[in-house]
Each structure stands twice: as structure tokens, then as C-alpha cells.
Chains A and B, each alone.
Chain A
Amino acid sequence: MRYLALLGGDESLGPAPGTPEFDTMMQGYMRFGETAADAIVGGEALQGAATATTIRHGDAEPLVTAGPYAETVEALGGLYVLEADTLDDAIELARQIPAAHDGWVSLRPMVEWFDRGRQASGTAEAPRYVAFIYGKETDGDMPDTPAWDEGLAAHQRFMDQVGDAVQAGGALHPIATATTVQVRDGDVIVSDGPFAESAEVVGGFYVVRANDRDAAVAVARQIPAEAIELRPVMEVGD
């Protein structure tokens, strides 16, 4: 069983890169990376919400705007793909993620997940972006329905079109299956639902390789979804 852990918090309270506080925070993530190594299937740190680009599909040409899909104080900051047998095991992992202690971790069961690996093609050096799928939840977001199968076929066509530009991707179960994990004063607070309905990734995400923002937008705008939020990945020492 795989879970997507979405990490969020108030960016304005977080330390800036280059400061000792930032290094301390990163050490927290390194520690989680070591202790949970067997369970971590994938993970990306994101650059700030201000670096986001949002693509909205309507009747006319796609609308590309600067900024995140939803302007919220509690911004999305990263993600992990976790392997766990049960939700309790996933919660045990989530409580160790630094974001749970000053922000939140939202757990979503995944329908599927693939990762071709960063070295799979000659483009390993290219910057990477995470393209999150946002929008209203529709019938197509319910697995095992004809609408879902149609959506799956559309995503398959997208993948065929863009080829190696997509490194990884995952599809999620509906938002109703989300669970939020926070740790405050040592107590774990588990609650039903996403942290903030408006800011919640709906269907899934892709990890896109592109030389620059425009190239990433050119890939992401082909994703069959109501709206896409594109966020540059913060490449951390590995």
C-alpha cells in the first residue's frame, strides 16, 4: 500500500535557505530520510509557493498565471511517497516528518505510482518540476468507474506524447480518504480529511524534467486536468 504524504505549513514562519535554522530543518529531513529509508519510495522538496505557475484549462486557450492554484497561508512545501501496510503505519512515519511538528502532513492513499528514475535518460541534469493536479473532484476521480478508465487512457496518451519529460507520477484516491497528521507539544493529532480543502491536490501529480519554466509549462499544459500547479523542485544534496 502506498501513501502520498503532502507536507505543508506557513512559509513565512519557515527559515530562509542559507541560515543556520534552515540547516537544522534540513537535518531533520535527513534524519527522517535515514530512519524511514525502507519506507520512502520517493520524495521532493519544493521551492516556495511564490515560484509556482498555474495552468487552467477552460473553453479557450489554457490560462497560464504566476502563483499557486490556491493562495493559502499554509502552503504546500514538499511530498513523500511512502510504503506502509496500514494507515497506522503511515501515521507512524508521518509523525516523524518535521513538517508535522510546525505545519501539517496530509496522507492520501495512492491508486498507483511509477518512477523511471532520475538517471533513466540523458536529461538527468535538467531542472525538475512537480505538476500537481487540482480542480473540482469529478466522477473521473473515483477509481473503478468508467470515467476513471477514460481519464487513465487520457493520461496514458499524455505520457506517450511527452515521453522522457515525465520522470515519475502518481494517482490518488479521492479526497474523502485523506487524513491529516500534526504533532503539537509531543501529542499526535490525527484528523479526518485534508488540511485545507481548497489547497488540496485532487487527482495526483507528475514529476517533470524541463530545461526551464516555459518548457515545463509546455509539458504540463498537456496534462488532461482542470488545473495544474507547477512547482520547481528544490534539489537538495544527495
Chain B
Amino acid sequence: MERAFRSESGRVLATLARQLGDLDAAEDAVQEAFAEAMRTWPRRGVPDNPGAWITTTARNRAIDGARRESRREAKEKAAMRTGPDAQSSGPADPGDPSIDGSPEPEPADDQLRLIFTCCHPALAPASQVALTLRLVCGLQTVEIARAFLQPEATVAQRLVRAKAKIRTAAIPFRVPPAHLLPERLPPVLACIYLVFSEGYAATTVDELVRRELCDEATRLGRLVVELMPDEPEARGLLALLLMHDSRRDARVSAGGDLVLLEDQDRSSWDHDRIAEGTAELERALLRRRPGPYQLQAAIAGLHATASSWANTDWPQIAALYGELGRVAPSPVVELNRAVAVAFTEGPAAALDVVDAVADDPRLARTHLLPATRADLLRRLGRRDEAADAYRAALALARTGPERAFLERRRDEVAG
């Protein structure tokens, strides 16, 4: 029942937020509708159209709330001397079609508005992610806290502050005009990718939560593509998520160990997802505006369609990482490029690529650099140096499966 409610609540909230011009009021109304559902659904059963039921109930609650509010405000205004600037104008779009009598926009458009509001660059990235999960995906605060291994109070406070900023600083509830999209779409895509990565990588979190985050991210990715079909990077992100997601079951063994791409059982990959991802990527590339997500999806696609690790198109992957490093420079990209270079030019050439970024402070706190070095040294037969590098990687690795893998390899080279 909670699931039925949640799948609708993001949509309802987005529409109410536009109509009311107030996120808190919209959230309260949806919460009240939820409480109402909890009371009546067990007795009468889930309505045939739960979405319509929730919308109607929440809207009625919101109207009741607005009446209470306007009575309260009227009293306050009478009691207080307020200047012309004392009113903050809230996140309502001044061009709100529900005010000027134009036809109601599609609920999906409201969801897109809400995503852009939640991912406004004037909000910190951590707040963007929390807001998107709470308001667009309908996750409870406690679920977000669990997913990000943070105390519930921390997440709750982050949400309160972010909503206060949206209201007080008048962050608009709208999809930005075309000329602003190049700078406003990236945070939206980054937020969706972050939700996905958290679900994909955080192996310490229980399986159900991880699955949920990946599914929500993929749903959001589809939504943005549906609503902005002309944005190749949005489609590239969706393709990337689908490619990664196709390997979801293959990358962790029955015993919970991380299975590297090279050791995965390729027959257990979800080939429907790979096909869908490939189709999305091809459509994106037709626009001839490549970007970081399309490049990453292209790399993931080459892996996904290779018959084996050895038969992978490594020269093409090395070239794509080179291009990715050009459009979105990052030491992590260089480490990935090194893996491809190891196949095309050998581990010694790859080690040069790794050593070129060895001093980058952005790598100082992750195990990626020593782990990559260790593997290359191992292949070069430099066992002592490899063992040292595995130890360095172990000192930084966070999650259980990663640690187990590094320990196995360390014992191999040291033994």
C-alpha cells in the first residue's frame, strides 16, 4: 500500500507545489492524504485509481489548509506593521498557467519543474539529492538517511534548510528557459547519477534500499528524457544507467563478494536493458552533441556488447576515455584510461598514465589509485611493489566486498 502511495505521491506533490506555490503546504497536504489513505484503504481497499484519489484528497486538504492559513495571515497582518518588502514571494511561477486560466499543464511537466527546483545550483549538491529523493521520488526522510548512512536528524535538517532557502530566496518553480539549460541541466543529471551511484556502489547498505535508489534514478532518467527528448546528454545518462543496471546481479557474488567486470558471468547480464541502453545511446549520438554521459555510455556499451573481457574493443575504449578526459578532465578518468591502455599498449605504458596523476589531491582519499597501480605492478611481475600498493589500497577501501577483493589479491602476490 505504501508502494502504491509512493508511486503517485511525487506526481501529486509536483502538481500541488505549482498550484499552491509552496512546497511545505504541498508536502503537508500529501502527508495528510497519506494518513487518510492509511485509515481508509485497509477497510475499503486500494481505490481503482489511487493517483486520482490522492490528488483529490490532497488538494482538498491543501484548500482547507490554505483557508486556515489565510485567516491566520489576515490576523497577523492586522497585528503587525509590515512594509512592502516584508513579503517573500515564494516559489510560485509568476506565469503560472493555473492563475491566468490557460489549460492545465501535464503532471509530468510539473515533475520536471520540481526536479529543476530541487536541483537548483543555489542549493548544495547534498541538499539537491535529498530534496529530489524526498519530493520527486517520495522517499521518507528515514529512507534517505539509511541510503546515505547519515543520521535521520541530519537529513531532516538539510531538507528543512533547503526548503527554507527555496522559499526565502525565491528559487523559481519552473523549467529554466532554453538559454539557461546548458548550465541548469547538468546539476539535474548529476543529481540523478549520484542517486544511481549511491545505490550501485554502496554495498554496505541493505539490498532493498540499493535497488530502490537505482530504480528511482532510472525512473527519473526516463522522465527527463521523455520531457526533454532533444537533450542528448539526458538520453546519454539514461543509456549509461541502463548499461550499468544490466550488470546489477552479476557484479556481486552469492556470497556478497564484488565480482570484477572481467570475471562476471556475461550470460547473467540483463540483455533487454543493454539493448534499450544501446538504442538510447544511438538516438543521443544522432544529435552530434557528445558529452560526458554519452561518452561514458559508449564505453559501458562497448563492455556490455563484448563477448568476453579479452575480446573487448580496448583501442576504442582507450580513445573514448581520452575524449572523456578532454571534455571532463578528472584523475579518475585517467585511471580508467590506464586500464584500457594496459590492453592496447601493455601494463608499463599504463603505469605511466597512472603515475602522471599520482599526486592529484582528488585521489588522495580513495583506494582507486593504489588499487590500479597494484594490478599493473602485479601484471608486470613486480610482486613486492604490488603487495605494497594493495596494502595502501586496503588502508583506504571502504566497503566490505572491495576490501575482500583487495585482500585476496594481496595474499596472492605476497604468498
Contacts and interface: CB of A to CB of B under 8 A. Distances in A.
A209 interface: no
A112 B83 contact: yes
B127 interface: yes
Those 4 A-B pairs whose CB atoms lie nearest each other, nearest first: A190-B121, A86-B172, A179-B122, A192-B124
A177 B169 contact: yes
A111 B82 CA distance: 10
21 contacts: A1-B89, A85-B89, A86-B89, A86-B171, A87-B120, A87-B170, A88-B172, A88-B180, A91-B122, A109-B169, A109-B170, A110-B85, A111-B85, A113-B85, A114-B83, A173-B168, A177-B168, A190-B122, A192-B123, A192-B124, A193-B124
B82 to A, nearest CB: 9
A114 B84 CA distance: 10
Given A88-B176, A111-B85, A173-B169, A188 B183 contact: yes
Contacts of B180: 88
B161 interface: yes
Contacts of B120: 87
A1 B171 contact: no
Nearest to B91: A86
Contacts of A112: 83, 85-86
B105 interface: no
B88 A1 contact: yes
B409 to A, nearest CB: 40
Contacts of B329: none
A60 interface: no
B91 to A, nearest CB: 8
A187 B183 contact: yes
B315 interface: no
Contacts, number: 64
Interface string A8-49: 000000000000000000000000000000000000000000
A187 B164 CA distance: 27
Interface string B107-130: 000000000000011111001000
A101 interface: no
B295 to A, nearest CB: 20
Nearest to B93: A86
A188 B120 CA distance: 13
Interface in A175-194: 176-177, 179, 187-188, 190-193
Nearest to A83: B85
Contacts of A176: 161, 164-165
B16 to A, nearest CB: 19
Given A176-B161, A177-B165, A187-B183, A85 B170 contact: yes
A128 interface: no
A1 B170 contact: yes
B301 to A, nearest CB: 29
A231 interface: no
Interface of B: 83, 85-86, 88-89, 94, 120-124, 127, 161, 164-165, 168-172, 176, 180, 183
A155 to B, nearest CB: 13
Given A2-B85, A86-B171, 19 more contacts: A1-B88, A85-B89, A85-B94, A86-B94, A87-B169, A87-B172, A88-B176, A88-B180, A109-B168, A109-B169, A112-B83, A176-B161, A177-B164, A177-B169, A187-B183, A190-B122, A191-B122, A192-B122, A192-B123
Contacts of B94: 85-86
Contacts of B183: 187-188, 190
A192 B171 contact: no
Contacts of B121: 190-192
Contacts of B171: 86-88
Nearest to A192: B124
Nearest to B126: A192
Contacts of A91: 122
Nearest to A191: B121
Interface string A103-124: 0000101111110000000000
A187 B171 CA distance: 20
B170 A111 contact: no
B99 to A, nearest CB: 14
B122 A87 contact: yes
Nearest to B180: A88
Nearest to B81: A152
A1 B124 CA distance: 22
Contacts of B161: 176
A86 B170 contact: yes
A192 B126 CA distance: 11
Contacts of B124: 192-193
Contacts of B169: 87, 107, 109, 173, 177, 179
Contacts of A111: 85-86
A34 to B, nearest CB: 21
Nearest to B85: A112
Interface string A84-107: 011110010000000000000001
